[in-house]
Amino acid sequence: MSSSVPPPVEGICPLFQVYDMALSLAFYRELLGFEIVEQAPSGEQPDWVWLRRGVIEIMLNTMFEQGFRPPEPDLVRNLGHGDCTLFLGTPDVQAMFLYLKSKGLELKPPVVQSYGMKQLNLKDPDGYGICFQWPAS
């Protein structure tokens, strides 16, 4: 006998296709503070990485197998990445802004949206959106 209510689901872990894994790992690990949970293959040049920071998880996968990556990213393909944004809850959006500026990122200051969220927007190396946000007080 099946229930009319779906079973619980806990968590979400989006997968992003990336052009340069080393560049993406530097962005997510060194700049945003994510840690590697698993990677394959193990070693210095993984093709797939599972990252976590607190309860937030993401996976990165190379768009091209090693040895088959073109010399430059496909800018047309990357344009589509702008349709995807990770919204990350950040209680002190201003502190995140100042931190990222101190790391050399050129960013516009956070903005309070008409729906009451203070938001700071940026792009990762592949053009995926990152929005740090919290209810404005």
pLDDT at 87 over 90: yes
Q: What is the number of other CB atoms lying within 10 angstroms of the CB of residue 118? A: 19
Please tell me the predicted confidence (pLDDT) of residue 34: 98
Q: Say which range, 1-15, 16-30, 43-57, 101-115, has the weakest mean pLDDT.
A: 1-15
Can you give the residue ranges of every domain in the chain? 11-64, 81-137
Beta-bridge partners for 108: none
DSSP reduced 3-state for 126:
coil
- Which CATH number among 2.40.30.110, 3.30.720.110, 1.10.10.10, 1.20.1260.10 corresponds to the domain 81-137? 3.30.720.110
- CA 36, CA 58: separation in Å to the nearest integer? 10
The answer to whether 96 and 90 are in contact (CB under 8 A) is yes
Average pLDDT of the chain? 90
Identity of residue 41 = P
pTM: 0.85
pLDDT number for residue 79: 67
Distance of CA 1 to the CA centre of its chain: 40
* Integer-rounded Cα radius of gyration of the chain: 17
Q: CATH number of 11-64: 3.10.180.10, 3.60.9.10, 3.40.50.300, 3.40.1030.10?
A: 3.10.180.10
SS3 21: helix
Q: For a pLDDT cut of 70, what percent of the chain falls above it? A: 91
Confidence of residue 44 (pLDDT cuts 50, 70, 90): confident
Q: Which two tokens stand for residue 104?
A: 């050399």
pLDDT for position 97: 97
Number of H helices, E strands in the chain: 3, 8
Per cent of the chain over pLDDT 90 is: 68
